[in-house]
Amino acid sequence: MGYGTFSVDSYQQARRDYGVTQSTNVTRQAEERARQTGHLSEIVDPAVSPIRRSKIRLNPRRKKWIATLGCPMDIEVSCDTTGSMGGEVDTEMNVLPELYDAVAKVLPGYDPQLCLGIFGDCGDDFVMCRPQFEMEAPKIVNYLKEMAPQRGGNGNHGEDPQYAMFARAYLTDAYTNRIGLKGYHFIVTDEPYHNHLRREEIRRIFGSEIFENELKDMRSELPSVDDMVSELKRKTHQFVLVMSDYYYNDTIDLWSCLCGEKSVIIIDSTSQLPAVISAIIGLTEGTIEVVELEEHLGLFGNDRLIRQLSSIDIGAQAKLRHALPHPVPKAGDIFANKGDIWPIRPGEASDDDKSVEPPDRIEYL
Amino acid sequence: MLEKIYVVTDLGPGDGGKGSIVHTLSCNLDASVIIKRGGAQGSHGVRTSYGENFNFSQWGCGTLEGVPTFLSEQMVISPVGLSNESEALKRLGIYDPFVLLSCDPACISATPFHRISSQLEELLLGDNPRGTIGTGVGQAYRMSKTLGEAATIRAFELKNREIVRTKLQKQLDYYRERYAKISRKDGLPNDAELIDENLSLLYDDGFLPYCLDLFEDIGKKLRLESLDEVLKGDGLGIVECSHGVLTDAETGLKPHVSAIRTLPKFTTEMLRTAGYDGEIVNYAVHRAYEIRHGAGPMPTYDPEFTSRMLPGSHKDENRWQGIVRAGALDLNLMRYALDTSGDVTFDGLCLTWFDQVLACNRIWSLCINYKNAPATGESYVDFLKRAEPNIIEYFIEKPILKRELFEFIGDTLDKFLNIPLKLLSIGPTELDKVSSNKE
């Protein structure tokens, strides 16, 4: 993958460095610390820094900027850690190299950036942990070990993943969205959601000043959960991966009703995440075909899963890509300014090119 | 040789809006380099027209435009700060921020032990605070004067683990001895935990090895360069200074001053000594009103004005800087700053945050003089504590053209201060600045 991206060696080294040598209970210390202090580690606490970013990586070159890797692709996975799913961070930690490798294979030329978070219930002390989008193993390992799953759930028929969805919909700055593509958002759960967004919970999760700063547009009115999902779908290819041993029978129906049947996939175990997530991304990007699914899924390739995956919106990202006014940026592309959305086309501007003075507009204050 | 160098100096106690001005100049002048002087503790905020926000400390405020930064010898750097800031810049998409940074080999490094000392010193002052950022920059500078090179870590030494270990140990021994008799009871009751925290770090045997690893890592990443090499470059340079004239170690409003010299004449001296014979343009920066984080005299402070102009700011209080205070623009303090700026004459003033005046009630309040006068033998700082401001108010008519507003403010300031207005900030980004010319 080259310098600065994920590698198995750096992953293993990071686990040694951070003392995450056991394959279970990787969050033990963070949980204990959160219990004692009443605070999450600030690197996974959305209240400390509510906006998460997925940016194209640039390096300066002669007053312009060169893309060191391809277009970033933001992939957010938010995992239920209530009740029987309390140990899912362990699984995420253990399948991480496999996950990165699998998504990198179906995203050739892209810079996959992962945000692996967790959510629980508003009845818990901590409703969610959400780290930054990253591609380097030591950082992701560090984020995962700093999560504080509560393992509760409040026994109230449903959890509160809607705030994780809210975060991607309204509190994410993703390069994909700026150029007209969509990132990927996955909820992994075995329970339904609660059909409400509450102002006090949003303040609790994302910080007391959130409506004064990042969410000024929502000062007077919050979106409904349906509207929030519409916004999430406008920005991401959104999926809910429901564990097959779900407790409540209406889990699938409720999620299908909210997100659409095509977005709800039943899985048997979270160890399937690398295979399933990469299959979904590959099909959406058009880099794998339905006929390749069985081979792609390997041991996990049962008929139910293949049937479900075959019914997702295949090639949806490819369609968006074809409609873009420019090719998707690739490593080596030059940007005139750091804030530019698109790179310079070959021959479009010389090194001496200066920005054009804006016309002197008449503006009243 | 750099064709021209713009020196941006805060005319107040800091918080004037230098970040936004340096960023704007970087964009408009197509600057080649930002030269930093002062301390690593500053937080210079930049918001770009393309929607990015960043608070810079050691990287210059032109970084988001690809302008490299040089940390001059007159900068006290913080390796811990460099590590944190580079991570934050990475998250903004700058893949390797160290490509945009070079450093004078002789720069003094502040260490976590200096930070501990800085915080303990402030905590021991109890309810008579001096005001500090609490990062240890001042302590590092003072220690370099008192203990000399034996305990001073310079930038060129950072990657030499053994030298750093020896010097860190020296600092640690010094502070352990200095604070040997200190306990949680020596500060305010509310500060007991902070005192304990700092003391426990001082006696944590694992802390020094942690610092060693971090310093070595930063030492390897940091590119060393001398100022005369930087000055040989083409184009225009901008000197971005921390603090403000009113916090200069000698001429500032003592005791609420920093450890370093903040006057623009020291910048000129540094550039000329390095052999620069090109044009130097001095710009002063000040907010459209008075603001002060923390202790220090502020005759125009008005709690009502503060909550009106900076709603919610009462929550900004932190233990080191204290509460934020605001009031009418104090032309007396500005005159004092201009008078104490040494032989340097400012070529212009950049007035910032005028958008807050427009957004609030469109009343621009100026303190043109004080109703009373200093008593014989009274220090200026003591007088300021009892000075009675004579305030006049201008209502900014609505609507008004940007150009008309600029001219009105320019004429007013010229009348009272005899300094030309060069840049007026009416919003956070580089596109929200009105200038007197193409600058």
Say if A21 is an interface residue toward chain B (CB within 8 Å): no
Using CA of residue B239, residue B240, residue B243, residue B246, what is the dihedral sign?
positive
The pLDDT tens digits for A46-74 are 999 899 989 898 988 767 898 988 999 99
In residues, how long is chain B?
A: 439
Instruction: Report the alpha-carbon distance of residue B72 to residue B69 in Å, rounded.
Output: 9
- Residue B219 to chain A, least CA–CA distance (Å): 19
Task: Name the pLDDT band for A15 (thresholds 50, 70, 90).
Answer: confident
Which of B67, B99, B402 has the CB atom closest to A365's CB atom? B402
Q: Give which of B63, B91, B424, B425 to mutate to test A binding, by max A Cβ within 10 Å.
A: B91
Cα angle: B311, vertex B314, B320; to 5 degrees: 135
Q: Output phi, psi for B191, to 5 deg.
A: -95, 0
- Residue B155 to chain A, least CA–CA distance (Å): 23
Which of B93, B405, B431 has the CB atom closest to A365's CB atom? B405
Q: Which residue of B has its CA nearest to A52?
A: B91
Q: Which residue of A has its CA nearest to B47?
A: A339
Tell me the average pLDDT across B209-221: 91
Using a pLDDT cut of 70, give the percent of chain B over it: 95
- Flag whether pLDDT at B113 surpasses 60: yes
The pLDDT tens digits for B5-54 are 999 999 998 889 989 999 999 998 889 999 998 887 678 899 899 888 89
Tell me the average pLDDT across A106-131: 92
Put simply, the answer to whether A362 touches B405 (Cβ < 8 Å) is: no
Here the contacts of A344-353 (C-beta below 8 Å, separation 24 or greater) are A344/A64, A351/A62, A351/A63, A351/A64
Task: Name the pLDDT band for B316 (thresholds 50, 70, 90).
Answer: low
Where is average pLDDT lowest: B54-58, B186-190, B297-301, B357-361?
B186-190
Please report the pLDDT score of residue A354 as a whole number.
Answer: 40
Closest CA to B242 of B137, B143, B146: B137
Residue A346 DSSP SS3: coil
Say if A216 is an interface residue toward chain B (CB within 8 Å): no
Q: Which residue of A has its CA nearest to B405?
A: A365
Average of per-residue pLDDT values in chain A:
85
- Residue B383 to chain A, least CA–CA distance (Å): 39
Closest CA to B178 of B127, B134, B260, B116: B116
